[in-house]
Amino acid sequence: MSVIEGDRLHTVSGEELSKARIAAGRVVLWGSALVLLIMVLVQALHSARQIPFGFENWRPVLYAYFFWAFALCVSRVLIYGEQGKKALFVLPAVLFVVSMVVFPLVFGLYISFTDWNLSSLTGRKFNGLDNVRQMWTDPFYWNALRNMVVYVFAILAEYAVAFGLAMLLNAQIVARKFWRVIFLLPLMLSPVAISWMIGKSMMEVRFGPLARLARWLGWENPSFFGSPEIAKLTIMLMDAWNFIPFMMIMILAGLQALPKEVLEAAKVDGASAWQSFWRVTFPLMLPVSVTAIMIRIIFKLKLADIIINVTAGGPGGATDSVTSFIFREYRDRSNVGYGTLLAMFYLVLIVIFMTALLKISDRIVRRATGTG
Amino acid sequence: MADLELTTDDFDRQRRIRWIVSRIVIYGLLITWAAICIFPIFWTVTTSFKIAPDVMKGNLIPYLDFMPKDRGWESLGLSPDTIFRTSTVREEFMKRFMNSVVISMSASFLAVVLGALAAYGLSRFSYRFGFMRNSDISFFFLSQLILPPVVLALPVLVLYKEMALLDSRIGMIAIYTLMVLPIVIWIMRDQFMAIPVELEEAALVDGLSVWGAFLRIIVPLALPGMVAAFILSLVLTWNEYFFAALLTSTDAKTLPVMIASQTGSQGINWWSMAALSTAGIAPLVLVGIFLERHIIKGMTAGAVK
């Protein structure tokens, strides 16, 4: 990585790097790379049972990677001097993310085309497109994907509630901070705790307070996870309870940043509260709303904890999200190869979906704010 | 004249009534939603002090409906009369609790260090890394946000197994750091962009190096943003369940995994489960109450311009 012209922060350095220093930098860089390469080779051959010596596991290779990463940083300074020191800001994070994401992703791409069951003794074997074919005819996976669509659409309702709450908090009320803290609390709780607190105890058919309330309201036999529709709705409500504060806080920040003059002007012009909301507040809030909804969608696509702990996907897969489905695929069947393929396919869908969504929302915001 | 006075009077009264009605509606809604937010927490905390008949009768309010007993806390080994005695359950709980503390704290700290450095570099210098320019590198970091954990989980599981990192605190710290890094970079980039470059330029003229200017001038100024990023990361990592459920089994098991495994087993008493849940959520409820300012600051960074 090198630094090119056009820094926001200009630095002037008249230093002259000696030839020996640059050469030393090259030696450090290539030497450490060589060490890493040798370690990888030895261990790969050892685990393929080609050579008798080697390490017990891949941990030493990890250390070699650390050593190489450190040497890379040192060599930047040695070779490029002051300019190299600037690269040190970004380099650690880049190396970390590359090793933790790019490498597992590539590895994952490979194992998703293998038949690999961790509990079987045969180990992995390449099976081409068999996993894809299995996925194509797996009704439970497609069902989980359809559920995700429903779950994502529920965000619109969450958004409406969050907007309402933000308006409430932005109204002239006493002890605003007190209300804000209370409204924020659900966000602090872990989905696992919520699973027990609400899903398993408050909704317990005999003694749970919510079941009692439902009976009092005239629901004869309240079962929150009995039928597929109600179970799905219950999961949505629990997740909404958990995450509404998040959107609410973002929208509240947007509301507080609105220019006061515009709202005053609308009032002077005789607009009713209803009109001034739809004609002034809502359009001005569009950019913040879009950001809040986008981030919420990203979090929603990871939805799993509550489902795993409350319904385990039931009844009959009605509440399954993709993540919880793959989780059980691994937990119950140790099917790493197939599970990884499902996850990879999900990633592809998400990338396509999010890119399209970004484009569309960008256009909506531009049209509404008149900058397009 | 009299007519006019009457109408203004009328108008005034109407406005008064409308104002009162709006107050009632606003506070009514506020109280309703506050009850929705508080009740599950109230229920869990009070249930941890109940015994079987109280649960079955549906008693709600302590001292009025039922007398609090600390059976739930006794089973955790955390009640007043068991706290000084040895208790295997408490040891188990404390182990999980400490795992959660160590893992979430270290991961958040590491993410703030790595993320702040990267965000600073990206906000001040122009990089070229192959075909990647600054905006590409930023996008590379932020795009990690949409990566669902399930995509990484299985490959990482296999790799961790090969590297003997499975069920270790280090492994969990690494994966959690990765999880919150994009959020930290998002927040810190916003912070550094708001700090004028002239400050560092002056420091450079005074003879500080780039790193010296960063550490002595910028870090103190950006500290509030770092605290916000740290606390937000803490919330996310403390509550994380998915990776922990897959990557830990005995040694490095975190609190959510312990709670989840207890939920699954049949016949566990409500009061012990409630006590366990209360203990699990208490730290973050306190964080939410006392550090609310920082959490809001972290969440709204970059969203509102």
CB atoms within 10 A of CB A202: 23
Residues A206 and A242 in one domain: yes
Angle (CA) B266-B268-B269 rounded to 5° is 140
Query: For chain A, what percent of residues have pLDDT higher than 70?
Result: 95
Examine the domain organization and report whether A36 and A71 are in the same domain: yes
Check residue A80 and give its pLDDT.
86
Is 70 exceeded by the pLDDT of residue B207? yes
Q: Are residues A101 and A142 in the same domain?
A: no
Which residue from A minimizes the CA distance to B38? A182
CB B188 within 8 A of CB B229: yes
Task: Kindly determine whether residue A192 and residue B162, on different chains, have CB atoms separated by under 8 Å.
Answer: no
pLDDT for the residue numbered B3: 53
Is residue A2 one of the residues assigned to a domain?
no
Q: Domains in chain B, please, with CATH? A: 2-70 (no CATH), 88-300 (1.10.3720.10)
- Taking residue A82's Cβ as centre, other Cβ atoms within 10 Å add up to 16
| A65 and A210 both lie in a single domain | no
| Number of domains within chain A | 2
Question: What integer pLDDT is reported at residue A142 of this predicted model?
Answer: 92
**Based on the domain organization, do A211 and A333 belong to the same domain?**
yes
Please name the residue of chain A whose CA is at the shortest distance from the CA of residue B60. A209
**Per-residue pLDDT tens digits of chain A, which is 372 residues long:** 444 456 777 776 667 778 888 888 899 889 999 999 998 888 888 887 777 777 778 888 889 999 999 999 999 888 888 888 888 999 999 999 998 998 899 988 888 888 887 777 666 777 778 888 888 888 899 999 999 999 999 999 999 999 999 999 998 889 899 999 999 999 999 999 999 889 888 888 888 888 888 888 888 888 888 888 899 999 999 999 999 999 999 999 999 988 888 888 888 888 888 888 888 889 889 989 998 999 999 999 999 999 998 888 878 888 999 999 999 888 888 888 888 999 999 999 999 999 999 899 888 888 877 654
In a mutational test of the A interface, the residue from B20, B36, B117, B125 whose CB has the highest number of chain A CBs within 10 Å is: B125
Q: Are residues A99 and A158 in the same domain?
A: no
Q: Is the pLDDT of residue B264 over 80?
A: no
Q: State the Cα–Cα distance between residues A217 and A233, nearest whole angstrom.
A: 18
| Candidate from B155, B177, B259 with C-beta closest to A111 | B155
pLDDT for residue A324 = 92
pLDDT at position B7: 66
Task: State whether A145 and A49 are in the same domain.
Answer: no
Q: What's the whole-number average pLDDT of chain A?
A: 87
- Please check the confidence at residue B305 and state whether its pLDDT lies above 60: no
The reply to whether A89 touches chain B by the CB within 8 Å rule is: yes
A11 CB contacts (<8 Å, ≥6 apart)? A82, A86, B204, B210
Mean pLDDT over the full length of chain B: 87
What six digits make up the tokens of A170?
Answer: 């932005």
Q: Within this chain, do residues A154 and A46 fall inside the same structural domain, yes or no?
A: no
User: Could you tell me the residue range of the domain that residue A87 belongs to?
Assistant: 19-107
Candidates A176, A192, A322, A334: best to mutate against B (most CBs of B within 10 A) is A192
Please tell me whether residues A168 and A298 are part of one structural domain.
yes
Is A260 a domain residue? yes
Residue A190 in tokens: 């872990």
Question: Are A172 and A62 contained in the same domain?
Answer: no
> A98 and chain B: CB distance < 8 Å anywhere?
no
Give me the mean pLDDT over the B149-177 stretch.
90
Q: Measured between beta carbons, which residues in chain B are less than 8 angstroms from residue A182?
A: 34, 37-38
| Residues 207-226, chain A, touching B (beta carbon < 8 A) | 207, 209, 212
Q: Are residues A264 and A158 in the same domain?
A: yes
State the burial class of residue A171 (Cβ atoms within 10 Å of its Cβ: 0-12, 13-18, 19+): middle
ipTM: 0.89
* Closest C-alpha to A190, from B96, B239, B275, B37: B239
Q: Give B103-147 pLDDT, tens digit per residue.
A: 999 999 999 999 999 999 999 888 887 788 888 898 889 888 888
Q: Establish if A230 belongs to a structural domain.
A: yes
Residue B267 has pLDDT above 70, yes or no: no
Q: For residue A186, what is the domain's CATH number?
A: 1.10.3720.10
Give the pLDDT score at A1: 45
Give me the torsion for CA of B80, B81, B83, B88, rounded to 10°: -130
Please tell me the distance from the alpha carbon of residue B37 to that of residue B263, in angstroms, as a whole number: 22
Assess if residue A365 is contained within a domain. yes
The answer to whether the CB atoms of B146 and A344 lie below 8 A apart is no
The verdict on A142 and A87 lying in the same domain is no
* CA geometry: angle B47, B48, B49, nearest 5 deg: 85
Q: In B, which residues are within 8 Å of A76 by CB distance?
A: none
- Residue B270 has its nearest CB partner, among A189, A201, A336, at A201
What pLDDT, on a 0 to 100 scale, did the predictor assign at position B265? 60
% of chain B residues with pLDDT over 90: 39
Q: Mutation target for B interface from A190, A284, A305, A329: give the one with most B CBs within 10 A.
A: A190
Q: What is the pTM of this model?
A: 0.90
In this prediction, residue B236 carries a pLDDT of 92
